Amino acid sequence: MRSQLPTIPPLPLTWPFESRPLGVAPLQQDGVVLPGLGKDWSLFAMPNLSFGEALDLGNAFGRGGVQRWGDIVARPYRRGGMVRLVNQRIYPTPQRFAHEFLVHRALWLAGFPTVEPLGYGWKRRYWGFEGVFLTRFTESEPWPKHWQDRGEVVLSLKKQIQALCEWGLFAPDLNATNVMVDAQGEVLLLDWDRADWSGANLFSRYQARLLRSLEKLSAPREIVGAVRALTQA
């Protein structure tokens, strides 16, 4: 299942973040019962996770079905676009879940500002698999709830996006609702589904994706203008 996953390239010499220690390695467990999601799940995750009672975090900014289990956040995989009308949550293999975990864990170990990835789970359903992604809960809120912090957030975004571009990593889901502001005012980026080390013109593609989401969310003109004015160093 993990044989087709991409090779992680070396970090660029100009990488601005301090790497985190490797720590313990994730393990595969089968026949796991997940709160609110039932039994017979397989997990590739950090060992000795403690699942608390399932608490629905609601449907904020389109993240339907996200739950909190104690200090763990569980995000089920849901399809977007027109596909969701006929198949909302079934994938042909668990490959996509494994891919996101590899990218997210690489970013976490590289010291990038994101939440801690804990693992992913999969369960056979009909002709394919359902999936769930696990992260450590962090006290943070989506950027749209902090529009007033536009200067600090935009500056942090520029630094983070430039680092991603220098590493050659593009994350197609980096929209404004995946920009989180934590209790200390630090900016964290979420959702590395379908991210990969490929492509060109990465900075302009990140910028265009953010602008589309800001316009969709009717963000203040000052924020749209600040993001539009960003240029790659």
pLDDT of amino acid 85: 42
pLDDT of amino acid 154: 93
Distance, in Å, from the CA atom of 28 to the CA atom of 42, rounded to the nearest integer, reads: 7
pLDDT tens per residue across span 139-158: 999 999 888 877 789 999 99
One domain for residues 150 and 51: no
Q: Can you list the residues of the chain whose pLDDT is less than 50?
A: 1-3, 85
Asked, for residue 163, whether it belongs to a domain, the answer is yes
pLDDT of amino acid 25: 95
One domain for residues 94 and 160: no
111 HSE (CA, 13 A, CB side) = 9
pLDDT of amino acid 185: 84
CATH of the domain at 160: 1.10.510.10
One domain for residues 149 and 125: no
Among residues 80, 112, 136, the one where a domain terminates is 136
One domain for residues 199 and 221: yes
Domain that holds residue 82: 27-136
pLDDT tens per residue across span 191-223: 999 999 988 999 999 999 999 999 999 999 999
Q: What is the CB neighbour count within 10 angstroms for residue 123? A: 18
